[in-house]
Amino acid sequence: QLQLQQSGPGLVKPSETLSLNCSVSGGSISSSNHFWGWIRQPPGKELEWIGNFYYSGDAYYNPSLKSRVTISVDMSKSQFSLRLDSVTAADTALYFCAGGGYASGSYESWGQGALVTVSS
């Protein structure tokens, strides 16, 4: 059973970069059985898919965020990361990392979530 642990700052200034990490345990981050994703949820609102990173090395992003977002994997640290540039107050949200299963196509394991507030 995969376990995901998120880390990163809870407060980011407008126009700066949001960076979050997700450490994976209980399984291999380099496994071809899994893909890695980020999802966010503004307070009181619905879930918004940010993007996924696949074993092939391909990454796919929500078109609404594509110009500002990067998801990367560091296999040596068994962690994957989210970078979101030029943030505004609209990026304030609860951010989740998640591990998906190729067989199911679903996010089977989730991080605990991290509230990131964009404010000066």
CB atoms near residue 62 (< 10 Å): 15
Q: How far is the CB of 65 from other proteins (least distance, A)?
A: 11
Q: Which of residues 28-87 bind other proteins (CB under 8 A)?
A: 37, 39, 46-49, 52, 54, 60, 62-63
Which x/- pattern, by CB under 8 A, does the window 83-112 give for other proteins? -------------x-x-xx--xxxxx-xxx
Q: Does 120 bind other proteins (CB under 8 A)?
A: no
Specify the 3-state DSSP secondary structure of 65.
Answer: coil
Number of residues that bind other proteins (CB under 8 A): 24
Specify the 3-state DSSP secondary structure of 100.
Answer: strand
What beta strand segments (E) does 1-120 contain?
A: 3-7, 11-12, 18-25, 34-41, 48-53, 59-61, 69-74, 79-84, 93-101, 107-110, 114-118
Q: How far is the CB of 14 from other proteins (least distance, A)?
A: 25
CB contact set of 55 (below 8 Å; sequence gap of 6+): 30, 31, 32, 34, 35
Look up tokens 């990367």; give the residue: 72
* Residue number with CB closer to other proteins (86 or 112): 112
Q: How far is the CB of 47 from other proteins (least distance, A)?
A: 4
Binding site for other proteins (CB under 8 A): 37, 39, 46-49, 52, 54, 60, 62-63, 96, 98, 100-101, 104-108, 110-113
